[in-house]
Amino acid sequence: MMMNVLLLGSGGRESALAWKMAQSPMMDQLFIAPGNPGMKAYGTCVAVDWKNRDALTHFCTAENIDMVVIGPEDPLVAGLADFFATSPELSHIHVIGPKAEAAQLEGSKDFSKEFMRRHGIPTAGHRTFTSDQLEEAKQYLATIDAPYVLKADGLAAGKGVLILDNLADALREMDAMLGQAKFGAASSRVVVEEFLEGIEFSVFVLTDGKDFMLMPEAKDYKRIGEADQGLNTGGMGAVSPVPFVQDHVKKEVLTQIIQPTIQGLAHEKLDYVGFIFFGLIHTAKGVKVIEYNCRLGDPETEVVIPRVEEDLLPLFVDAASKSLLTRPMAQSQHSACTVMQVSGGYPEAYEKGKPIHGLDEAIDGVMVFQAGTKEVKGEIITDGGRVLCATGMALDPAEALEKAYARLDQISFDGAYRRNDIGVDLGLR
């Protein structure tokens, strides 16, 4: 069966997904909305806005779309999968991405914490406060020790988590979040969490809501500065596999976290077709869940997907038709390492529109995935904070990293910045 597929998104994550799906013998036409110039190598970029439901319906009908793969969380939390399922013209289309109710695993911190509590899944202890409980929230903070972890309940583009070292700052931020809607509606509820200490990593599965396929694990580098200093970003690089995630750690993750999560979804009849991203922390008291995401990670996808050694499209069909089998996805023995090249100033203010040089060169075993780019008069220019990344692959992770860096050395734009220490903490460089 040949398929026409629409992929939603425009980042490095979607670039890696497009690169992979385009190789499928089942792929007829791949459309990407909105995509980026780098993705033209894998399919047709189209200016269809997922928020414009009439335009989306028209496009899917006109192009005989068989499957929609939803990359980012916003459309999922906003109920795009539900729209497809309930629209008479679109309900035959396979959608990869959970319905809104299940997407709350990412869309509401309180929902995900309560879900974990119900199913005995290890995570930080927490209390949730609503805006009419500001005084109670502050009194509670005064009874616990630093560091204080405050999380806006809703989606806040990765900015809604604050970790504060002293009570005065925590009280002030609680005031700003609950009292003055610092993150808008997202902080009308605030979750206060126990602070966990350890090293973070992520595990991904594809699920149909009852069975799941385990994918390669990854570690990303969230801070802007080397040695994990400075502000949080979307992610500055990633590696897979993760050396400290040995078989016994994987087994613990599988039995204590993944299996109870999938069983919990099935038990609560939450309709989940798509990826689950388990953000985990390896603590002295075992592995715990920091967060769930209802999608793949970025830049984790840029190392996870290149290591997947089977065709995604038949697996997507199985997931959407709820006939997935629980087994690990076939994965390469090679390591993959990706390094992001970002605009100077990111994650704060940065300039756009800088011409990018060196995209036409190549190194064997390295892929460049564009993210914040656009094409103007045949020239590719910067158009976002995270501009592009290079993923190197090799049996030896050190070689994979060397290759990624060598490829980025060939690429330049005004103000380009990258971290030169990806993998160093893991002894890979």
What ranges in 192-335 are assigned the alpha helix state H? 247-252, 259-267, 301-304, 312-320
Whole-angstrom Cα distance, residue 271 to residue 281? Answer: 27
Task: Scan for tokens 């993705």, then name that residue.
Answer: 39
Q: For residue 111, what is the enclosing H or E element? A: helix 109-118
CB-nearer residue toward ligand GLY: 24 or 391? 391
Does residue 293 bind ligand GLY (CB under 6 A)? yes
Check binding of 220 to ligand GLY (CB under 6 A). Answer: yes
**Closer of 24 and 36 to ligand GLY (Cβ):** 36
Strands 237-240 and 229-232: unpaired
Q: CB 125 → ligand AMP: shortest distance, Å?
A: 9
CB contact at 8 A, 44 and 31: yes
Q: Which residues bind ligand AMP (CB under 6 A)?
A: 124, 149, 151, 161, 163, 193-196, 200, 279, 290-291
CB nearer ligand AMP, residue 291 or residue 300: 291
- As a whole number of angstroms, the distance between CA 334 and CA 365 comes to 11
The C-alpha angle 145, 148, 153, rounded to 5 degrees, equals: 140
- Residue 38 or 235: the one with the smaller Cβ distance to ligand GLY is 235
Closest distance of CB 277 from ligand GLY, Å: 7
Q: Compute the least distance from the CB of residue 201 to ligand AMP, in Å.
A: 10
What residue 297 binds from ligand GLY, ligand AMP, none (CB within 5 to 8 A, per partner kind)? ligand GLY
Q: DSSP assignment, residue 144?
A: S
Residue 14 near ligand GLY by CB under 6 A: no
Q: Does 75 bind ligand GLY (CB under 6 A)?
A: no
> Binding to ligand GLY by residue 235, rule CB under 6 A?
yes
Is 26 in contact with 3 (CB distance < 8 Å)? yes
Query: Distance between CA 329 and CA 327 in Å, rounded?
Result: 6
* The entry of ligand AMP, ligand GLY, none that residue 291 binds, CB within 5 to 8 Å by partner kind: ligand AMP
Looking at beta carbons only, is 74 or 298 nearer to ligand GLY? 298
The 3 state secondary structure assigned to 308-334 is: ECCCHHHHHHHHHCCCCCCCCCCECCC
Q: Would you give the distance in Å from CA 183 to the centre of its chain?
A: 20
CB of 288 to ligand AMP, least distance (A): 8
Q: How far is the CB of 198 from ligand AMP (least distance, A)?
A: 8
Q: Closest CB to ligand AMP among 196 and 218? A: 196
In the complex, what is the shortest distance from the CB of residue 158 to ligand AMP, in angstroms, rounded to a whole number? Answer: 7
For residue 69, give Cα distances in angstroms to 80, 111, 372.
11, 24, 20
Compare residues 193 and 383 and give the one whose CB is closer to ligand AMP: 193
Q: What is the CA radius of gyration of the chain?
A: 21
Give dist(CA 124, CA 394) in Å, integer.
36
Q: Nearer to ligand AMP by C-beta: 285 or 327?
A: 285
As a whole number of angstroms, the distance between CA 44 and CA 194 comes to: 46
Residue 244: contacted member of ligand AMP, ligand GLY, none (CB under 5 to 8 Å, by partner type):
none
Residue 298 binds which entry of ligand GLY, ligand AMP, none, with Cβ cut-offs from 5 to 8 Å by kind? ligand GLY
- If binding is defined by CB under 6 A, does position 208 make contact with ligand GLY? no
Positions that interact with ligand GLY (CB under 6 A): 220, 234-235, 293, 297-298, 300
